[in-house]
Amino acid sequence: MKLSRYQQAPRSRRGGAMVAALLVVFAVATMGMIHVQLDLSKAREQRGAVDSKRAFYMAEAGLAEGFHGIAMGKSGNVGTAEEPARFANGVFFTTADEEGDGRVTLTSTGLCGAGRATLSIVIERTSESAASRGFFGDEQVTVEGGALVDSYDSRVGEYQPPGGQAGEASGGARVGCNGSVQVGGSSGVTVVYGDARPGPEGVLVRGRNTTITGTTAPYLTATALPPIEVPSYPSQGSVVTTLFAPLATLAPGDRSYWELHVGRLGKMTILGPSRIVVDQLRVDKGGELVINAADGPVKIYVTGNMNLAKGSKLSTPARDPIAVSLLVSAEQPAGAIPTGTPPPIQLATTGSFYGTIYAPSANVSIPGTMQVFGAASANRLTVQSNAKLHFDLALLIAGSEEGSLPSLLGWRLIELPDVAIVKLRYDALAELEKAGVDVKHAKNAHFEVGELAARVLPAKALLHKRNP
């Protein structure tokens, strides 16, 4: 009998290796599971860290967007907690709080994946535009007896006289000077619904029956009026209206003239958008100059003389102070002006002017027959008796003509706000999209000044439903 080469193990011992192998497999599987779990945990941790970092940068992007908005003349608010702004694969919302003295606190919350971060900065609008100074003089400002200076916000609505509910914004007028300010005279009631501030070495002298509702504290530093940079365009000669050709219209565009002269009973209309450089701007008695900025802004640079005679009319039908600028670069002659020589600016016209007047080197005297809605800056500014000036608060944030940016005063990391979107456990962007919310891109999510409160926030109910 031939025996098997390998002797079979006894029945009772068969399967022992299997058990050992199973044990090994089980051990390996367990170790594998542990490893996978560890890996997953690590990945989650890493993703969390990455999300936190992304959220941090998202919040930074929100701050930058708000900063940029303020530099552009917007409110600084970008998105809201209910309707945040989209940036790459995350969202953020930035709020801007006015702190006074030109300071703004921007707070931005960024959300990316499961990461959340909130940052805050304080910025200062260091260099204001000339128009944002209100009615400003370099050497001297005189508001004669009987004049009224107040304010309104053209973005909110039409001007309302002070006193009523609608006229609440009237207290924000700005009268200022690098030198001294004289408000009021011996006759008439003079009212400044706002500030009247002399320069650091100037004084404020008040006449009888004078009311100033804001501060009269001197500025701590003087503000230079920057010179006007006059653009250069090909000359189109002169445009003069006569009795036989009383009407003239200057089409939109940029051009230069030697003279624009509106004769008696003539009417000249300047249509925007346009930039006009003119050496002599004259409107005779009975003539009318219409600056129509309905289709775009109009800037008129006067390099020589501007004479809007008594009995002439100046009108700005678009009623948008931001859209119309009269910039006079001529210099006031030193000392007394010789007889027969016209001063750079003679303003005796009638009408309501919506716009800004800027004459850093010339003296401007606003007559009692004129109402100015906007702002005016000049070397010496005189507001004659019974004149009415209404500073447009929209000019405060209408952007700096000098192109200056706000300056950063402080930065800090703060706690997350107590709002629904921050408490979401999932990716906020994905959730908002799932809910059908059209999340705007950051550049389209800026709010204008005063706009935020009026917004309807459609995502609010949705988010509250998910996180009661």
Partner 1 sequence: MLATILRRARLGLVAVILLPMMASATAAPQPRPDQQSAAAAFQALVEARRDGSTRGREAALAELVTLSAQERRDLIERLAVPGTPDGIARAALDVLGRAGTPRDPAIALRFLRAGLEVEVEDTIASIATRDPRTLNVLDEILRDLPTEARAILVRAVERVGTPAAAGWLGRCIERASDVRGEALARLGRLAQELGKPPPADVYTAVRNVLAGADSESLRAAIIAAGRLEDADAIPHLIAILRTGAPGSRADAKWSLGLITGLRLGDQIVRWDAWYATEQEWWREESESAFTALDSGDRAERVTALLAIGKLHAWRHKLASEVAPALQDPDPEVARLAAQVLGRMNSRYVGAALARAMERPEAEVVHEAWRTLRSTTRKDLPSDPAAWRALFPH
Point out which residues bind partner 1 (CB under 8 A): 100, 171, 195, 201-206, 212-218
- Closest approach of Cβ 126 to partner 1, in Å? 17
- Closest approach of Cβ 214 to partner 1, in Å? 5
- Closest approach of Cβ 202 to partner 1, in Å? 7
HEC letters along 196-232: EECCCCCCEEECCCEEECCCCCCCCCCCCCCCCCCCC
From CA 363, how far away is CA 140, in angstroms rounded?
A: 9
- Closest approach of Cβ 245 to partner 1, in Å? 39
Token pair 């900063």 is found at: 67
Nearer to partner 1 by Cβ, of 146 and 360: the residue is 146
Nearer to partner 1 by Cβ, of 90 and 194: the residue is 194
Nearer to partner 1 by Cβ, of 24 and 217: the residue is 217
- Closest approach of Cβ 185 to partner 1, in Å? 12
Q: Which of 366, 377, 407 is nearest to 131 (CA)?
A: 377
Nearer to partner 1 by Cβ, of 62 and 202: the residue is 202
Nearer to partner 1 by Cβ, of 47 and 206: the residue is 206
Nearer to partner 1 by Cβ, of 191 and 445: the residue is 191
- Closest approach of Cβ 449 to partner 1, in Å? 22
Nearer to partner 1 by Cβ, of 1 and 336: the residue is 336
Cα–chain-centroid distance for residue 429? 28
Nearer to partner 1 by Cβ, of 176 and 202: the residue is 202
What is the distance between the terminal CA atoms of the chain, rounded to a whole angstrom?
Answer: 87
- Closest approach of Cβ 215 to partner 1, in Å? 4
- Closest approach of Cβ 338 to partner 1, in Å? 11
- Closest approach of Cβ 174 to partner 1, in Å? 13
Nearer to partner 1 by Cβ, of 194 and 266: the residue is 194
- Closest approach of Cβ 382 to partner 1, in Å? 16
- Closest approach of Cβ 321 to partner 1, in Å? 25
- Cα angle 238, 239, 243 (rounded to 5 degrees) comes to 135
* Contact between residue 104 and residue 77 where contact means Cβ atoms under 8 Å apart: no
- Closest approach of Cβ 52 to partner 1, in Å? 35
HEC letters along the chain: CCCCCCCCCCHHHCCHHHHHHHHHHHHHHHHHHHHHHHHHHHHHHHHHHHHHHHHHHHHHHHHHHHHHHHHHCCCCCECCCCCCEEECCEEEEEEEEEEECCEEEEEEEEEECCEEEEEEEEEECCCCCCHHHCEEEEEEEEECCCCEEEEECCCCCCCCCCCCHHHHHHHHEEEEECCEEEECCCCCCEEECEEEECCCCCCEEECCCEEECCCCCCCCCCCCCCCCCCCCCCECCEEECCCCCCEEEECCEEEEEEEEEECCCCEEEEECCEEEEEEEEEECCCCEEEEECCCCCEEEEEEEEEEECCCCEEECCCCCCCCEEEEECCCCCCCCCCCCCCCCEEECCEEEEEEEEEEEEEEEEECCCEEEEEEEEEEEEEECCCCEEEEEHHHHHCCCCCCCCCEEEEEEEECCCCCHHHHCCCCHHHHHHHCCCCCCEHHHCECCCCCHHHCCCCHHHHHHHHCC
Nearer to partner 1 by Cβ, of 150 and 288: the residue is 150
Nearer to partner 1 by Cβ, of 217 and 414: the residue is 217
The size of the chain, in residues, is: 468
Nearer to partner 1 by Cβ, of 7 and 221: the residue is 221
